[in-house]
Chain A
Amino acid sequence: MQLTTQQFADTIVVAPAGRIDHRSAAELEAALTPLLADATARRGPLVLDFSAVDYISSVGLRVLMIAARQMRAAQARLGVAALQSVVAEIFSISRFDRVLAVSGTLEEALAQSSDAALAAYRSAGRPAAT
């Protein structure tokens, strides 16, 4: 699984790509482990940019649930942004849209994180709201 990481001020943005299924969920979990440790240690926000994720299975959703639980315990914010339509439907059917903070775009998710994160994102040349 391809996965990129960026930092915008206090917020870590993790962008996995492709399918998150029973084959790749463990990779996502492993990749998230140090990032979650960092975010929870400093109580900083973490956003999962799902714009390049085209499928997620129950095993992948479990990884998100664990991440959300860890972040909540540390009083840190976890957001998920930019779901493709199929993934958005899977979130809705599984009711994950009720337990995770889901934003329509990465910019909206960063606006929820902090003003500094949004400013850093915009100054990095990212387009305004799409």
Chain B
Amino acid sequence: MKGVRFWGTRGSLPVALTATGLGHKLREVLRAARGQPLDTDADIERLLASLPFALAGTYGGHSACVQIDTGGSDYMLCDMGSGLRPFGQAALAQRAGKAQTFHIFMSHLHWDHIMGLPFFVPAFIPGNKVLIYGSHAELEMALRRQQEPPSFPVGFDTIFEGRVEFRHLEPGVTHRVAGMNVTTMLQRHTGDSYGYRFESQGKVLVYSTDSEHPLADPAHTERFVQFFRDADLVIFDAMYSLADAISVKADWGHSSNVVGVELCQLAGARRLCLTHHEPVFDDAAIDSMLAETRRLEEITRSAAPLQVSAAYDGLEIAL
């Protein structure tokens, strides 16, 4: 396992940077550029590197889709949010003309995690194969249903012509898929969700999104600590603040940056990547949440440092 690339990082609903938001960034960047040398491309790159990510970039707005680089020829992905569409375009550009196999692991079947499939062009191409894995009994039904009238103009079988297949994963059992050990675990979310632990070549990746953590249940905490144990990277749903997650948004099925740090520290994980960003957060709000989370990790650290990132569409993390 070589690393991951994020194609969709937004929770619940895709969002886009607006003209107003872009205009604000441009004004701030131009203000920051006052008096700075800008004669060469290197000067420009230096200036951009000095700016906060919220100004020089954007976290992006596609819903959940994460690619795992296995080092092998098959593609592996977690979830099929709207980020699956740009991934599909990139995969086509990368290996045009060659048959491709895609292994896609589903956390759950809510809209924001399945909406990319009808727009996944590689699945339209004869010779390609899409294997969709999950622990929900309704996996196939949910994906067929979103392409039924009146919700979508083209039926599942009409466009996929048998190229999409389904594989059930028994929770708690380690499965071998494309050279990777894959284990799923039940998570607390309306309609259930499943976390994934991927292990290969001494590397451990955990994908745990759409998961609420009942803090009063030590057995629940211990189960997650074991699932995250010694992970090289934990991709974690940090949609809400802790105060919101246990008060006005209790039982909404999501978690917080605070619980992400605590679980990773207890588990001895090396890196935490916050994802499933709240759609109402702008780039500055996510930047600020990341800075606060890094500070929390620093002031509560009792062992080796935990590296903390916030996922954005296009982020690559090497393992």
A→B interface (CB under 8 Å): 22, 55, 57-59, 61-62, 65, 69, 86, 89-90, 92-96, 98-99
| Shortest Cβ distance from B247 into A: residue | A65
Contact yes or no, A94 B242, CB < 8 A: yes
Contact yes or no, A62 B246, CB < 8 A: yes
Known: A58-B215, A58-B258, A94-B256. A65 touches B296 (CB 8 A): no
Contacts of B93 in A (CB 8 A): none
Contact yes or no, A95 B218, CB < 8 A: no
Contact yes or no, B299 A58, CB < 8 A: no
| Shortest Cβ distance from A98 into B: residue | B243
Contact yes or no, B244 A95, CB < 8 A: yes
Contacts of B256 in A (CB 8 A): 58, 94
Known: A94-B241, A96-B243, A98-B243. A62 touches B215 (CB 8 A): yes
| Shortest Cβ distance from B213 into A: residue | A58
Determine if B262 is an interface residue (Cβ-Cβ < 8 Å): yes
Inter-chain CB contacts under 8 Å: number: 54
Q: Name the prevailing secondary structure of the B interface residues.
A: helix
Contacts of A59 in B (CB 8 A): 215-216
Contact yes or no, A95 B299, CB < 8 A: no
Known: A58-B258, A58-B262, A65-B247. A93 touches B292 (CB 8 A): yes
How long is the Cα–Cα vector from A26 to B299 in the complex, in angstroms?
A: 23
| Shortest Cβ distance from A86 into B: residue | B299
Closest CB in chain B relative to A115 CB, distance in Å: 31
Contact yes or no, B296 A93, CB < 8 A: yes
Chain B residues numbered 245-299 whose CB sits less than 8 Å from any CB in chain A? 246-247, 256-259, 262, 292-293, 295-296, 299
B→A interface (CB under 8 Å): 215-216, 218, 221, 241-244, 246-247, 256-259, 262, 292-293, 295-296, 299-300
Among A57, A65, A89, contact of B243 (Cβ-Cβ < 8 Å): A65
Contacts of B216 in A (CB 8 A): 59, 62
Closest CB in chain B relative to A18 CB, distance in Å: 15
Closest CB in chain B relative to A53 CB, distance in Å: 14
Among B221, B246, B295, B300, contact of A22 (Cβ-Cβ < 8 Å): B221
Closest 3 CB pairs of A and B: A94-B242, A95-B241, A95-B243
Contact yes or no, A95 B242, CB < 8 A: yes
10 new A-B contacts, CB < 8 A, other than A93-B257, A93-B295, are A58-B256, A58-B262, A59-B216, A62-B246, A89-B296, A93-B293, A94-B258, A95-B243, A99-B243, A99-B247
Contacts of A57 in B (CB 8 A): 262
Contacts of A86 in B (CB 8 A): 299-300
21 pairs from A and B in contact (CB 8 Å cutoff): A22-B221, A57-B262, A58-B215, A59-B215, A59-B216, A61-B243, A61-B258, A62-B215, A62-B216, A65-B246, A65-B247, A86-B300, A89-B295, A93-B257, A93-B295, A93-B296, A94-B243, A95-B241, A95-B243, A95-B244, A96-B242
Contacts of A22 in B (CB 8 A): 218, 221
| Shortest Cβ distance from B225 into A: residue | A22
Closest CB in chain B relative to A106 CB, distance in Å: 23
How long is the Cα–Cα vector from A18 to B282 in the complex, in angstroms?
A: 37
Greatest chain B CB density within 10 A among A62, A89, A93, A99 is at A93
